[in-house]
Every structure is written in C-alpha cells, then in structure tokens.
Amino acid sequence: MRSFVAVVDAGRFQDAADDLSITQQAVSKRIATLERTLGVRLFTRTARGARLTVDGQAFLPHARDLLRAEERAIASVRPGHRALRVDVIGRRLAPASVLGGFHRARPEVELDVVTLFDADAAVEALTSGSIDASFRAVDRSRLSADIGAVRVFDEPVQLLTGPGHPLADAPSVTPADLAGHRIWMPGIVAGTEWAAYYDALAAAFGLGIEVTGPDFGTDPLLDTLAGSPSLATFVGELTRLVWPADQGLRRISVQDPTPVYPHSLIWRRDNPHAALGDLRDHLGTVRPRAGTWTPDWASAAA
C-alpha cells in the first residue's frame, strides 16, 4: 500500500524503490501482489515509468486516506499527542452529551474519549499525563493543589420503574417516599464515586439501595425493570436522550430535594494544552441550586 503511493509519487518503480530503500524488484512484487488481491491492474507499465490506470486513479485517494488513518492512529498514543484526551463517566450520561456539544461547536479540536474506573484513577491519570481532563464527581478537599476542578453540570437523578410498580403513576416522589422500596442498582462497582454517591444517598434518607450485582447491558436492564413490579432504579435524566424507546417504563422525577449527580471537570493546572481552556470556556460553571441534594464531599467541589 505504501509502495503503491510511493510509485505514484515517484512515477517510476525504480525511484519509488529508492525512496523506500528497497530494490526495484521488491516494489514490482509488492504491486503485483496488491494487484492480484484487488483483482485489478493499478499501473500501465511503459518504457519510461508507470502510469496509473483508471482503477489506480480511483484507488489512490483511498490509499492516501488509509496511510493518513494509520498516521493518526499511531499519533493517538504518542506522548505529546495533540488530541485532547478526556475521561467521561459513562458514555450515556451528561458528560458525553456535553462533549458532543463541544465537538459540534469546535470540530477542529480533536478529541479522544476514554472511560476510567473511578475518580481516583482519573486523578492518577491526570497526574501522570495520560489524560488531559476528566468528567467526574470528586471530593475537592482531597485534591492536591495542582489539580483544577470546576463543577460544570448537575444531572438530576430520576426514578425508573416498570408500569406495575406501586409508584409507577406518581407524578413525582420525594426521597422520603422511597423508604421501604427496593432500589436496584446493578452494575455499580464498589469503590467508585457512583457507589459512594448512592451510599450517601441511602444514608441521608434511610433508603435501601442495592449497589451490588452483576453489570447488565442497557436492554436487559430495561427489560427486567419492565417486567418486575417491585423493582425501581435511579437513572440520570440525560439517559432519556440516548436510551431506546421505553417499553412502558415510567420516569418519575424526584423532588424535595432533587438528588443531582455533580459532574465536575478536573484537569492538571500545568497542562499546556490549548484546547483545555476552550473546553472550560465552553462548559461554564454550575452554581448549586436550592432544592437539590448532593453528598457533602461532592458539594465541596464547587
């Protein structure tokens, strides 16, 4: 493939071979192999050089694309790569939507989106330089001074139930209403800020929240909810935008107070990446609103 482009640029097999630091025969063989696998002739061989056939001309831009894609792939893991590498907590949550908006607003900023295990891993990755920014809920008092944090988005937590659930037809509920109900949160991994969040929520309002269990996929989880009248689960409001059509599932807002998941953007202050400032500017800052609830440790990350 690289030989093909080299021959096109050089115009002759011989010169292409020199450029590639191999012999002309090797180039001939490579092109012959490529032509055999593609099933078409790419060059017409003349007495003084090679000219592209029609198929070769059509193939050329795609071949260049392929080489560029390889370049980008290699560059994406090179230290000092210029793409902004951002950690988001869950691709189906608010930060992913926010990042999508940033990408549409600033398409020239290259983004690499990754998902780390938890906030501690994110801070460690920031410190080591393997990521540039992270959307997480963090305890600001535990951050070292060289880590910046801005609370950028509060995502309301809603109750999701099947149609047979006792609360299915309630227009809204208060956290206190949920005492005695079984709140099922499969796939929440102990030790993450998610688990800490729901632990704090359970403790604050005397709820019984099951934060253990295997990780379900989205569809099995929704199917199970739809068929189990005793099950309810918490979901972020933004899942509404990306989940498939709810098969009879009910979204019930929680009020007085509304638990919100406090997404913060965190970054290393001495990171020189120019797009980092653009991202912060694009996000703005959230002032905690009245009537909402977050854990104490999260509220500190104003």
Partner DNA sequence: TAGCGGCCACAACGTCCGGTTGTGCGGCGG
Partner DNA sequence: CCGCCGCACAACCGGACGTTGTGGCCGCTA
- Cβ proximity to DNA: between 101 and 191 the closer is 191
Strand 232-236 and strand 147-161: the pairing is antiparallel
Q: Is 112 in the site for its own copies (CB under 8 A)?
A: yes
Dist CA 204 CA 200 (whole Å):
6
* 29 to 48: interface string for its own copies, x by CB under 8 A: ---------xxx--------
Q: Is 4 in the site for DNA (CB under 7 A)?
A: no
Q: Give 249's Cβ-side CA count (13 Å radius).
A: 26
Dist CA 58 CA 60 (whole Å):
6
- Cβ proximity to DNA: between 43 and 297 the closer is 43
Dist CA 261 CA 198 (whole Å):
10
Q: Is 300 in the site for its own copies (CB under 8 A)?
A: no
Q: Shortest Cβ distance from residue 233 to DNA (Å)?
A: 24
- Judge contact between 13 and 41, C-beta under 8 A: no
Structure-token pair, residue 281 = 């500017």
Dist CA 25 CA 232 (whole Å):
69
Q: Which of 32, 74, 176, 241 binds its own copies (CB under 8 A)?
A: 74
Which among 38-46, 100-108, 132-140, 281-289 is the span making contact with DNA, rule CB under 7 A? Answer: 38-46
Q: Shortest Cβ distance from residue 31 to DNA (Å)?
A: 6
Dist CA 268 CA 131 (whole Å):
9
Q: Which of 30, 151, 268, 273 binds DNA (CB under 7 A)?
A: 30
Q: Is 285 in the site for DNA (CB under 7 A)?
A: no
Q: Is 26 in the site for its own copies (CB under 8 A)?
A: no
Structure-token pair, residue 30 = 């490579």
From its own copies, DNA, none, interface partner of 88 (C-beta below 5 to 8 A by class)? none
| CA-derived radius of gyration, the chain | 27
Q: Which three-class secondary structure state does DSSP give residue 78?
A: coil
Residues that bind its own copies (CB under 8 A): 1, 38-40, 54-55, 57-59, 61-63, 65-66, 69-70, 72-74, 76-78, 83, 85, 87, 112-116, 125, 130-131
